[in-house]
Structure 1
């Protein structure tokens, strides 16, 4: 019976984390699109295959703590990477990006440049990522506290487990607007699709995003090389192209 259980667990694990990848990377939702582009360019240059799994920072941290075999963790905060380093599971964390919070709607007339829509009756629902799992959700709550509108918004909010789910609420029309990462909608903003308000950075703590190399991958040449690529001139430029501040 134990052998059967172990075999089922092994099948489940390999279906979630493909064995054909050279490097397994856990990526916070906000950084999913740029991480795909980074992985693509890295593979073109080196031939090394990067496999990306995405989720909220809190979800990915819990998976790593429970033994998920990731080589690298690209978080949306500094707290979880630091915790992994403190617990001896990873090497020292490195900041790879500073995120920007935006309020976005597919309706081109809904959001004004001052964010006054938040204190209006022009929407039924607003999407926010779970602040316990997603640093961008925590930043949104902090900004709302700063401008005195938390109670107004809370009465109309729907909560996504991560930024991907939060984006889906808005994109599907189930919520008329939502707090998202600038990187998620930068292409739409450049194409002048919808309307947005870039939330003043003075209203929330900087969203500093750290990366860590897991100790189990410390001698894995391809994983070390991908970490270096993040910090390279080409990597930093690509990250900046998605609307991040680059340290």
Structure 2
């Protein structure tokens, strides 16, 4: 049996649309609206990072590629060559790619076996080349070996990445500059977008997440003046 519902066109505005024939549920939502406030009054919602170099996984690596480790560095194997990467320029990277890594829910213990090169300071400013060569020479050599992959279009003939804010001296910029400071030592909830199970996982390890959009993940952190802790919001 075909069923249809007629709706006033005025309800189809810039706000989220509620399209359902369950009018009891719609009435319940209206009642809740009268005693609720937007979650954005108390939290900041932000997306992940976009490197524009995901095809070759240039910025990140997994523990499977680590062939040696000491207190300050990892040694990884890429393209039949070993590279020393300083731990101080790395952040844990939450990017589930294997089936066993997916299907998390709100109370899963977050783990990752991936690290990502994060050439930015806590305010989201790119670490300049002279500092890279002084403090992170191993990482800088690795990036230089991948120059043809990382150099943006318009800076060199072989460039393919779309990085409009990059220059000849800042060719190792991520593809987007948004949210680079949002992850600086902030406890957050990692939220699964369009996931089959509710996922609001608690992260205290300063993980980076990849950009989401209509899929993937975004993050929620508490505003400074919020009267609710993240644990309460998660629940």
TM-score bin (small chain): under 0.3
TM-score normalised by length of structure 1? 0.22
Task: Kindly indicate which of the two structures has a greater share of residues assigned to helix.
Answer: 1
TM-score normalised by length of structure 2? 0.23
